[in-house]
Structure 1
């Protein structure tokens, strides 16, 4: 993976960074924690401009959010609620649950997108609920752009400062992303079990 990322940046330069960051949002196994620190190291060597690397990283990251945003927008809250009412029983999921989640995103979606863009593991997935809740595109792009710029600056700057040891960034951030995903999985299982217990209690009464 490291050699492939490095090779693409060497052959395509700034366009390679932009392309990699678009792909990273669509295919999370491609880690920004390797792409941007590597580009930061290239800037430290004088092969690239640090501000342009950050700009390309931010732009690629924002462009990469759009496909999932539009998929969420096309799917929509009503369709998802109808699906949950028809098929969500095995997940103990109802249309009312979808409505609650959508209302929560309407209230807190801006903060979720802004800070979520800096959390490994969920940063690319947030585009779906943003689209489903019909967050206005300019608003989504604004908060996604700010969060992506901060993330790009942090990772690129780390690679610039670490030099040849830029891969240490991924060594620290990679495990953090797995912990976050694991915690989310545990929270989801706990919620499902809680819902089933509540429904069983209602059935018994």
Structure 2
């Protein structure tokens, strides 16, 4: 993780040239900080929006590609370590075929699970065109929301970064508990 206090001077010195590579690593918080700086007149908001969206999409496509084409052997090893079998991959593939949009939306909303969901989309063989269409729409919305947050509260970016982290972890835990309850609940009641 990049130290938040170093991001602001880097953006002030290098502008949009530095935002794209940092956005690949620190998407939401770099969006908040750079939008706050655009509000202060240091950056062009429209150009910033385009750079942030393209950087986010490039990172997401890299995760998807790794899952789809680059990590078959690694993915199989990881699956074995986690106790997953080939049947699980077929279920995952069907999940992205029938509920890919919802699953990608979950990944976009929960920063903590985003990379895993994008890898899973690739491993599940979600059609690339569909992935790009849905992911682009979600990225446009997400980037606009975080830019709005930056315009309104950007000077509190350290606190916002904490909120993003805690909210993401909270959502993942809540969904995990709900799944556990759904899978184990009926057996516990007997």
- How would you bin the TM-score normalised by the shorter chain? 0.7 to 0.9
Q: Could you tell me how far apart the structure 1 residues matched to 2:123 and 2:15 are?
A: 35
CA 1:166–1:23: 2 relative to 1, 3 Å: closer
CA 1:181–1:163: 2 relative to 1, 3 Å: closer
Q: Among 31, 50, 56, which residue is 1:36 paired with?
A: 31
Q: Could you tell me how far apart the structure 2 residues matched to 1:114 and 1:167 are?
A: 25
1:86-117 CA distance string (max 9 Å, x none): x46x73x3322221222112111133224532
* Alignment pair present for 1:140 and 2:131: yes
1:50-97 CA distance string (max 9 Å, x none): 2222221111000011222111112459x84x985xx46x73x33222
CA 1:22–1:72: 2 relative to 1, 3 Å: same
* Alignment pair present for 1:149 and 2:144: no
2:58 is paired with a residue whose SS is: helix
Partner of 1:203: none
2:116 is paired with a residue whose SS is: coil
Answer whether contact 1:15 1:56 (CA < 8 A) is retained. Answer: no
What are structure 1's unaligned runs of at least 5 residues?
25-31, 198-205
Q: Among 2, 5, 8, which residue is 1:6 paired with?
A: 8
What are structure 2's unaligned runs of at least 5 residues?
none
* 1:175-190 → structure 2 map (5 Å cutoff): 175-183=166-174, 190=180
* 1:1-205 → structure 2 map (5 Å cutoff): 1-24=3-26, 32-74=27-69, 75-76=71-72, 80=76, 87=80, 91=83, 93-183=84-174, 190=180
TM-score when normalising by structure 2: 0.79
Answer whether contact 1:9 1:16 (CA < 8 A) is retained. Answer: yes
Answer whether contact 1:118 1:150 (CA < 8 A) is retained. Answer: no
TM-score when normalising by structure 1: 0.74
Q: Could you tell me how far apart the structure 2 residues matched to 1:124 and 1:97 are?
A: 19
Answer whether contact 1:34 1:169 (CA < 8 A) is retained. Answer: yes
Q: Could you tell me how far apart the structure 1 residues matched to 2:158 and 2:144 are?
A: 16
* Matched residue count: 180
